[in-house]
Amino acid sequence: MEDAAIVELYWQRDQQAIAETDKKYGAYCQHIAYAVCSDRLDAEECVNDTWLRAWGAMPDKRPTVLATFLGKITRNLAINRFQRKTRKKRGGGETELALEELEDCIPAALDVERRYELQEFRQAIGRFVSGLSETEQKVFVARYWYLCPVEEIARRLQISSSKTKSMLFRLRNRLRLYLKEEDLW
């Protein structure tokens, strides 16, 4: 079913919307959630919560790209769940690793007030990524949005893991500089 038709089902409050969404985007959202949570059950719950959120959001929203709309909801839910769990116990597979890598790119002291700047960071990162080459976009987004393992990215690009890591290293440096230029550092 086309995305527009699925969205229309949501607007008509037809519960078939959720079934159709699950059929079309269940695997995609499950992948996103699992990448963050590293736990099948948690991932499934995130996906189910995503459908509820989508149900609550439409109407009034009418997303232009349903895949990313759902993906972002799933990812945020998964990050929330991951955060809750890691407060209790550390250990989250690729998420942990990605977080460690990203720590280089943020200011040393990010106080509570700066949390309000999340939107500015979002916009800056959006601009930063849109200015990258296509390959760089794939590598960066695969790693830091989809939390894909480095080896998997390397395999798909048919380059070595070392080279992929090197690209990520450079991209993180560039991101850090970009954030400095944007006075977000």
Partner 1 sequence: MVDALFLLRAMDGIGDRELLLTRDFLELGEQSRRKGRKLWRTVLIAAILALLLAACGYAVYRATMSHRELHRSDENSYYLDIENNGPEGGVHLELNHGTCAMALHFDTEETGCLYGFRITEDAPIDPAWSSGGTTLKTLFRTYEPGGPRPAEQQRSLEQCLQDAGMTEAEAENCYCSMTFSDEALFERPAMRIEVLDGPRLHGIDLILGWPEGEATVVREETQGELQILEVLIETPRKDGGTEKTLFFFRFDTRRQVLLSVAGAGELLDFPALEAIAACIELYETDFVYSLDHSGQNFSVHGLAYG
By CB under 8 A, name the one of 22, 45, 48, 86 that touches partner 1: 86
Distance in angstroms (rounded) separating the CA atoms of residues 104 and 139: 18
In the complex with partner 1, the residue whose CB is nearer, 39 or 172, is 172
In the complex with partner 1, the residue whose CB is nearer, 62 or 138, is 138
Least Å distance between CB 55 and partner 1? 20
CB of 123 closer than 8 Å to CB of 178: no
Report the amino acid identity of residue 153: I
Site for partner 1 in 106-165 (CB under 8 A): 106-107, 110, 115, 118, 121-126, 129-130, 134, 137-138, 141-142, 144-146, 148, 152, 156, 160-163, 165
Distance in angstroms (rounded) separating the CA atoms of residues 62 and 49: 19
Q: Omega of the bond prior to 63 within 30 degrees of 0, cis?
A: no
In the complex with partner 1, the residue whose CB is nearer, 12 or 151, is 151
Question: Which residue carries 């229309």 as its tokens?
Answer: 8
Least Å distance between CB 15 and partner 1? 22
DSSP output for 41-104: HHHHHHHHHHHHHHHHHTTT---SSHHHHHHHHHHHHHHHHHHHHHHHS---THHHHHHHHHGG
Binding site for partner 1 (CB under 8 A): 24-25, 27-28, 31, 64-65, 67-68, 71-72, 75-76, 79, 83, 86, 95, 98-100, 102-103, 105-107, 110, 115, 118, 121-126, 129-130, 134, 137-138, 141-142, 144-146, 148, 152, 156, 160-163, 165-166, 169-170
